[in-house]
Amino acid sequence: MSTVLSAPLEVGFDYTRSLGPVLGRFFTGLRERRIEGVRGSDGRVHVPPVEYDPVTADPLTEFVPVGEEGTVVSWSWMSEPLEAQPLTRPFAWALIKLDGADTPMLHAVDAGSPEHVHTGLRVRVRWADEPVGHIRDIAYFVPVGAPDGTAPEPPPAADREGIMIAPVHLHYQHSASPEESRYLEALAEGRLIGQRCPACGKVYIPPRGACPVDGVPTEEEVELPDTGIVTTFCIVNVPFLGQRLKPPYVAAYILLDGADIAFLHLVLGCDASEVRMGMRVRAAWKPREEWWTSLENVDHFEPTGEPDAPYESFAHHL
């Protein structure tokens, strides 16, 4: 296999969730330093509370206060904590049955080393210094009797009810396909290359790992000019976060001469109202010193002034 380009891909967002009456009450309680479970149809007290009974699926509404201390029911040792876990030093994951509860909850126990953890260990809640309105308001658990500094003061009353925000951050190494890599490397040299499907002869830019008609990789390299036509377009009038151009401007599908698939780009250099289907355009390249392995090397497309392509010549590319 030819060498492929790859790069880190970072995914991050704050997931904002509505809590509803059961979880909302539980998390409000945590912020106020108390723990409540909910009684199930079979009489068991679930902590954290569940909205619907795990056995009968009935809605559950009877809240039961439980203790801040509990017993370790099972545990495993996390010798190298991963990002975003409750502790950055080695700790135990544990299923902890709080006093007054019948089902254990999952959380972390700060115990120093695995020799200090065992099934049956008595632990107590260590509250978070800064409540955030979800499960992390319990920072972690500590063995009962272990020194753990000064417990933080209870915070002022809650100002945000009914929602929680959970940050998600994931890290990937994203790889381009061999076909895509050739295309990206050519862009760094100011060239636009497509690849031809060996079965149907269509030219794709960017090239594809498999032709969507034939299911085989595109292979034969085809150098394409930086001229083409607008097949379809829209005028962007709406401002949005991260927008780089001031509306109105035109986002258009550009079909390069000799290609069988259009790609999305900008059409600038004329009034937005002048852009039309079939309009001839040419790439406006950024200065050479700004080129890299990206279609961003083409800043935008602009009209060439040539006569428009007739509709029939591109109708099958719409």
Decide if residue 73 touches another protein (CB under 8 A): yes
Decide if residue 77 touches another protein (CB under 8 A): yes
Decide if residue 197 touches Zn ion (CB under 5 A): yes
In the stretch 217-236, what mask flags binding to another protein with x, by CB under 8 A?
A: x-------------------
Burial class (CB in 10 A: 0-12, 13-18, 19+), 88: exposed
7 binds, among another protein, Zn ion, none (CB under 5 to 8 A by kind): none
Residue from 158, 163, 170, 264 binding another protein (CB under 8 A): 170
Q: Report the residue number, 172 or 311, with the smaller CB distance to another protein.
A: 172
283 binds, among another protein, Zn ion, none (CB under 5 to 8 A by kind): none
Residue from 139, 142, 211, 229 binding Zn ion (CB under 5 A): 211
Question: What is the rounded CA–CA span in Å between residue 29 and residue 35?
Answer: 6
Decide if residue 188 touches another protein (CB under 8 A): no
Residue from 86, 207, 228, 278 binding another protein (CB under 8 A): 86
241 binds, among Zn ion, another protein, none (CB under 5 to 8 A by kind): none
Decide if residue 142 touches another protein (CB under 8 A): no
Residue from 75, 141, 233, 314 binding another protein (CB under 8 A): 75
Please say whether the beta carbons of 161 and 26 come within 8 A.
no
Positions that interact with another protein (CB under 8 A): 1, 4, 6, 9, 11, 15, 17, 19, 23, 26-27, 40, 44, 46-48, 50, 54-55, 73-79, 82-86, 93-95, 97, 103-108, 114, 119, 134-136, 164, 166, 168, 170-177, 180, 208-217
